[in-house]
Amino acid sequence: MSGKYHPSLALIVTSPPYSSRVARDSIDFSLAAAAMNFDLRVYFPGQAVLQLVAGRDASAAMLPGGYRAWAALPDLSPTRIFVERQWEEYCQSKGLELVMPVEALSAAGMKRSWRVCQNVIVL
């Protein structure tokens, strides 16, 4: 094994976009964790994946912008992004492009995946 050790951190992002300022807080927390060299696994169960849709603007809802900031995570720290398979299929069927590559898992697969992380935080 080469390189530095990075403790693993699962972030489970549960808030849908544009519903409150909580979604922006999730981005900020994730960026801070990445800056601290965590090996990140970020999970977007259900409609939370809509935070990753490219070209959306939260200013009309008078909420802070920044959803495109999710794409910066892999540049800061080893990062994997997971979404529920049915929601990935939904996005594809609607022609919704995501700001970054994702890995699709079943809901049960997501749970199994985040349980192997050393730390888990629900945002």
The CATH number covering residue 76 comes to 3.40.1260.10
Calpha distance 41→114 (Å, rounded): 7
Amino acid making up residue 55: G
Calpha distance 15→31 (Å, rounded): 17
Q: 71-75, 78-82, 98-102 — which is least confidently predicted? A: 71-75
Query: What average pLDDT does the segment 12-25 reach?
Result: 76
Predicted confidence band at 17 (pLDDT cuts at 50, 70, 90)? Answer: confident
Q: Are 82 and 54 in contact (CB under 8 A)?
A: no
pTM, 2 dp: 0.84
Looking at the 3D structure of the chain, how many domains does it have? 1
In terms of residue numbers, what domain contains 12?
8-122
